Structure formats: structure tokens, C-alpha cells
Structure 1
């Protein structure tokens, strides 16, 4: 999955455009007036056609399909109105983005992801996007950023604290894995164990859990009762990835909060009681390697936030008339 820091949200659904053959099947008319600009039926249906196709091929029932189509038609029309308002503002402000600037932004994005030209285009294709469509989105985002600065007249500053907070909150996105620091008490199965012996061990383990829940120190009980050969005298086992644990142990562990005690768990080695000492995301890529990408993402999010606020305010001043 490649980063999307330059993708615009205005045309979230405009992934591709159909040919004029589709347009010829529709009687054209004006759907919306935005000041002296128009949005036509043909333009809208061409933009919405791929969205409709995906909905209709997704396997929903008839009623859900109709509801989704109605919902996304409304969202699409509002996005096209916002885009038209943006186009007017860009022209009035005299803001322009050159082809060279778009080339530089695309190339910087490709290099920052360490992709060859071929790999970059394949990655875009996996996202359902052509290079030309990506260039259009890059241009839209650059126009939006400049328009925000022009209208709001305040620079957006992303602080180190914001970057670090995002890094910690989204550690999994940077290769971190969920890990658990565990301690256990092991009651091993005897050789040639009978059903009665297993029941006796189960009863003993359940009694231990009750003692622990009543305040008995886990390390002390482990030293007194556990027969583990791999844990310390206090029962500590160390850190484990969730994926490295057997399914039955993982099921008992993942529901625990720190310092909680598991139910008795039957394993091939015997009946075990676990204590979750600590948990957390570990081993992500170093912050310095990903800080620039995080800053870009946070910057784009702030631009989009301010832009949407500005568009909402401007929409109240612009004459918008929906004829449909």
C-alpha cells in the first residue's frame, strides 16, 4: 500500500470517466447553477457511472442498492458543486499550478516511496488509478493548499509533538506489532494421565485463580506451585508476538488488561494460568525515517479541514440553485 498524502478528498469517487457513448444515452439538461457556471446531467452521470457500476456489482439486495445509489448520488452532486465553487475561487485568485510543479511533486512522491517508474504505475493501478488521474489529484491538492493559504492567510505548522503523537497512535502503520509480556504458572500433566487426574489438576488451577483474585501475589504463587522449566522463579516468560502464541493461549491473553489473570488454560504441556504483565506496540520503523511522511499527511489533513470550512462558508455566499 503506498502513501496517499497528495490525494484529494473532493473527488473521492471520480476514479475514472466513461466514454461519450454513455453520454449520448442521456438527454442533457442543467442540474445545478453555481453563479454563472452549470453542472449538466451528462457531466454528472458520466462522473457517477463508475460509482453506480461498483455498487450494482457488489451483490447488495435491491433495496440496499437503491439506497446506496441515492446516497452516493447526493454526495457526488455536492462534491461537484464544491469543486465548481473551488474553480471559481482559483480563477478569481489567479492561482496556477504548472506542469513542471506537478511533475516535481509526483517524482518526489515516487522517490519517497522508493519505487521505480514501473512499480509506481503498478501501485497506482492496484489502487484503481492511472498516472494521469493521480496527476490530476496532485494538482487539485496543490491548488487547494495554495487557495487555503491565499484565503485564510495563515501558515499551517505541523509540530514535532503532533508528529510524535500520530506515530505512537498509529504504530502498526509503521511496522509495529502487538506484543505481550507474560508470566505463567504451569501444572504439568503426569504421564499416562487419567480423567480423574486431569479433573483434579483443573480444580487445583481454578482454586489458584481464586487465590490470585483474592490478592495472592502471582510471583510468590508461581515460586510455590509452578513446574515451568522455561520461566523464571517468579513465573515471568518475557515478551511474545500475538502470532507466536498458540490459538488457545492467544484467545485467553488478548482479552486481558495489564496485571489481569487468565482463566486456567489447557495446553499440551498441562494447565496454565497466565498473568499479563504488559502489552504494547513494539519494533516500528524509527520515527526519523517516517517523520516527513507523517508531517505531509498531517499537513494535508489540516489543509483539507480548513478548505472544507472555507468552502462551507463560501457556499453560503455563492448562488447555488439545484434544479433536479
Structure 2
């Protein structure tokens, strides 16, 4: 073992006072080109993943599962260490102005107005501003490295984009939409039983007339308690799934144009719906989504290329993972 590695190992093996209860507090988990990753780092970085796994598991996590998570985190830390070393090797520097601009972009995207508000938001995540700034600098360095080593070598051709478009037409098809009218009978949340009974009796009478073919818009003008109905005949306009109350959506999705629904009860009252039109979703033209497709293919290729680059970087590096006998 080389002297510097031996010194590092001694420095990281911290023991409690000798005796029956002595135990390892920290140790070297891996050595990456003469730089160490400690057991403490692995434990700290693995904690969020372990907590998340415990939250999702119906049973307590067994030792094998915990060990697998820790080893996954160790692999991530090794990759991170190799990237840091490559950043230093290529002398990649991120200036203060770039970091300041990135922070301003984050504030703008999250509608944070002041530095104090940003620091308060970070404190809620257990971070100081200096810690966040260091993380952001690290991310920017990594992005610069990826751009130099990976993205600059990627090309996305026109034919490739068109193939992607044809294979994913559903993704670029607008949602179908609906045009409908309604007749509304309001019921307050504290309405007595007699009032509810009267409203339902009226609603059922109007429903029978609507089902018999009477002009729905005229019925809405005469009976609906929607204030706008007297002018627009209960017109709800054009809307998509997700724009409606759940009870109304369930009914409308089962209807065909021209159908009149049964009486629908919601927390605010009774509704009768007539579906006027079902508007099929249109496929967006290729040119209108071309930039989006190029970005999607570019990101996918970048991820694949970076994964391959990381494997090559690791294969050329000296990486020694320590056997910590059950501590990992």
C-alpha cells in the first residue's frame, strides 16, 4: 500500500475507546485515483434514499436492501468524484457572474423576489445560501464538462426527428374537447329536506321535457338558476377533460353528441347536461413541434452518451472499493 493511502486510511479509521463497545465511526469506503470517499459520506448521502424506501415499504427494510441502496449511492459518489477530477484536469472554471446569473434565474423561475426570501426557502430545505451556491457551482461545472465531452459530439438529423414524430403522434395530438349546455338547480348546503325535494321535483320535470326533444336552450333560459343562462341558454362553451367537476365529467364522457344526461347531483345542486359537440383532437403539425422533438432526442442521446462516457472514464481510473465487512 502506498504511504499516502496508508495515512488516509489511518486518519479515517476513528475508533471509540478500546473495549468491548469499540466500533468504527468512519472508514474509507473507496479510493478513486488517490482521493477517498468515506463511509460517513456514503451514509449521509444514502439517508434520503433509505428514508424514501422505508416510507414505501410495508415491512422494515432488511439488511440486503439497505446494503444495495448504500452501494448504489457509493457508485454515484464514485462517478461524482471522477467528474470532479475531470473538471480540475480540464481546468473548467465557472465565474462569479455565471453563478450570480444562475441564482437570479432560479429566483425568477420560482417567483422569489428578494435574497432574504431565497435564503428562507433554502433554510426550509436544510441548506444555507453558501451550501446552495457551492451545489450550483458544481452543477454548472458538470454541465460545462458534459457540453465539452458529450453534447458537442451529438447531432440530431431531420429524418430522425420525423421518424420520432411519426412514432409518437399520440403525444403531439391535442386533447379532444366538448361543447355542452346545462340547466342548473341550486341547492344550498344547509337546505332543508323539503327544499331539496321541491328542487328535485322541478328538475325531474324539466329533464322529462328535455328528453322529449324540447329546445334545451329555451328550457335553460326558463328554468336554470345559472345567472348567465337567460342570455346564453346554459352554454358552457368548449372545454377539455380536467376542466369539469368530476361528477359532470363522468357523465359527459359517457355521452354522444345530442344526448341529454340524467339528473346529476353535485355539492352545489342538480344539473342536466346536453352534449352539443365532441371535437376530436387535431395532430399538431411537425414544424410546430420540431424544436420540442429535437430537444427530446438531444436529451436522450446526451444521457446515453454521458452514461457511456462515465463507464469509459471509470474503466481508465484507479477505483478501489474497500471491504468493510457489513458496514456498507
Question: Which range, TM-score by smaller chain?
Answer: 0.5 to 0.7
Deviation at 1:92, TM superposition (A): 1.9
The answer to whether structure 1 residue 272 and structure 2 residue 272 are counterparts is: yes
Measured against aligned partners, the alpha-carbon deviations of 1:58-97 in whole angstroms (never above 9, x if no partner) come to 6966524868744542332122011011022112212123
Counterpart for residue 222 of structure 1: 216
Go from structure 1 to structure 2 and tell me whether the alpha carbon gap of 1:201 and 1:310 turns closer, same or farther (over 3 Å shift).
farther
Change (3 A) 1:180 1:134: farther
- 1:15 counterpart residue number: none
Taking the aligned partners of 1:46 and 1:191, their CA distance within structure 2 comes to: 63
Greater relative contact order, per chain length (Cα 8 Å cut-off, separation 6+): 1
What secondary structure does 1:31 align onto? strand
1:315 paired to 2:314: yes
Q: Specify which of 60, 65, 70 is matched with residue 63 of structure 1.
A: 60
Unmatched runs of 5 consecutive residues or more in structure 2: 1-11, 17-22, 156-170, 172-176, 188-193, 280-291, 324-328
Q: Are 1:94 and 2:91 matched, yes or no?
A: yes
1:232-290 CA-to-partner distances (Å, cap 9, x unmatched) read: 67652347899997xxx5422267449756543146765513438579xxxxxxxxxxx
Residue 19 (structure 2) aligns with: none
* Matched residue, 2:6: none
Corresponding residue number in structure 1 for 2:165: none
CA offsets 1:7-64 (integer angstroms, 9 cap, x no match):
xxxxxxxxxxxxx9x9976344332243443323233234445665x55996966524
TM-score, structure 2 as length reference: 0.54
- Measured on the aligned residues, the alpha-carbon RMSD in Å equals 5.4
Looking at structure 2, the residues matched to 184 and 144 of structure 1 have their Cα atoms a distance apart, in angstroms, of 56
TM-score of the pair, normalised by structure 1: 0.54
2:248 corresponds, among 252, 255, 259, to 252
Unaligned runs of 5+ in 1: 1-19, 158-168, 170-178, 280-293
Quote the Cα distance in structure 2 between the aligned partners of 1:276 and 1:137: 55
Task: Tell me the distance in 2 between the aligned counterparts of 1:180 and 1:114.
Answer: 38
Asked if the contact 2:119–2:128 (Cα under 8 Å) also holds between the matched residues in 1, the reply is yes
Check whether the contact 1:30–1:39 (CA below 8 A) recurs between aligned residues: yes
Does structure 2 retain, via aligned residues, the 8 Å contact 1:95–1:147? Answer: yes
The structure whose Rg is larger is 2
**What's the secondary structure of 2:127's corresponding residue?**
coil
1:13 aligned residue: none
Shift of 1:318: 3.5
- Secondary structure in 2 aligned to 1:63? coil
Structure 1 CA distance, aligned partners of 2:181 and 2:49?
A: 52
Contact 1:253 1:276 in 2 (8 A): no
